[in-house]
Amino acid sequence: MKYATLLAAIGFAVSSISAFAKTQPIAIAIHGGAGTIEKSRFSPEQEKAYRAKLKEAVEAGYKVLEQGGESLDAVTTAVRILEDSPFFNAGKGAVYTYEGEHELDASIMDGRKRQAGAVAGVRTLKNPIDLARSVMENSVHVMLSGEGAKQFAKQQGFDFVDNRYFDTKHRYEALIRAKKKLHKANKTNKDYQAAHKALANEYKMGTVGAVALDKNGNLAAGTSTGGMTAKRFGRVGDSPVIGAGTFADNRSCAVSATGHGEYFIRYSVASDICARVEYQGKSIEQAGKEVIQDVLMPIGGTGGVIIVDTKGNISMPFNTKGMYRASKSSNQETQVSIFKHD
């Protein structure tokens, strides 16, 4: 009798695990930056190329999840593809600093125990997201910057590229335009802060990121950026700041942000959204809308976020004219969008 009871219990447990595996959703969302993204600025060929790259990244990440891989691997895979593309302000497509160089930031977070890793101001790493993950998994720290990050990368066996690897014609032209505007503003106002505020928002934003939920119910988020065009003094934005540009917690959601980083830092955007979900019981759609539209918009904070929760729901709110974005889940086919009314 006891033996039969034991067999029944084992059978129930196996069937329960099997049922969980079948019903546990998987999901991924990616972004390639938000801002003044208008259809009139794109040729049909350009729009097609951007959409194709977003589709490639989201489907590569989803394939990892579909094969039973972890959300961290899916996020890293998707972000790496976006970093390797000249279309987006991260990795190969990174913007220029005021001095005509490139300084890259990235972060990643594991929703299981809030483990996180980040790098800031790296100049010779082809894929900063990989180094951020190594910081999380192989160091006792959360964020490394500049030369220290480079030393750690050497210790971990990373390969390096010349800073000129990140050069692109369209980013250099943007730098020239930005510097002209800054010089013009300086003629009437010698205050650097005032002159920089006179720059259009298109020079102050641009990021890539991914959020994912795997078959084990674990969330992850990752973000990577080249920062702000014509940035100076070793400026670091929100992308490597845990809680601002990146956040993941299995009790709520995973978030990756893109926008004017200073606002996202000051208002702890990513963690605020997750806190509203966890402590106020709000949906990610509601929480994201409140922070992006009701908190940031009135104070001039422009940008957007991608969010996924523990049930595989996806939300991608933004308050700009467009945001490069794509998503796929076990309940939704691949969706790729660029403009506000896509």
> Residue positions in the annotated binding site for substrate?
235-238, 258-261
List, in order, residues 6 or more apart from 171 with CB less than 8 Å away: 89, 93, 94, 95, 96, 226, 229
Rounded Cα distance, 24 and 35, in Å: 34
How far apart, in whole angstroms, are the C-alpha atoms of residue 238 and residue 230?
A: 16
Residues 264, 277: Cα–Cα separation, whole Å = 18
Q: What six digits make up the tokens of 97?
A: 């600093």
Cβ-count burial 101-112 (b if 16+ within 10 Å, e if not): ebbbbbbbbbbb
Per-residue tokens: 301: 């904070």
Of 60, 110, 118, residue with least CA distance to 85: 60
3-class secondary-structure state, position 315: strand
Positive or negative, the CA dihedral 333, 90, 107, 253 is negative
**Gap between the Cα atoms of 165 and 86, Å rounded:** 11
Contact call for residues 236 and 120 (beta carbons, < 8 A): yes
Structure tokens at 104: 């890259």
- Beta pairing, strands 332-339 & 322-329: antiparallel
- 207, 225, 302, 310: the active-site residue: 207
Q: Is 5 a catalytic residue?
A: no
| Residue numbering of the annotated binding site | 235-238, 258-261
Instruction: Indicate which residues carry an active-site annotation.
Output: 207
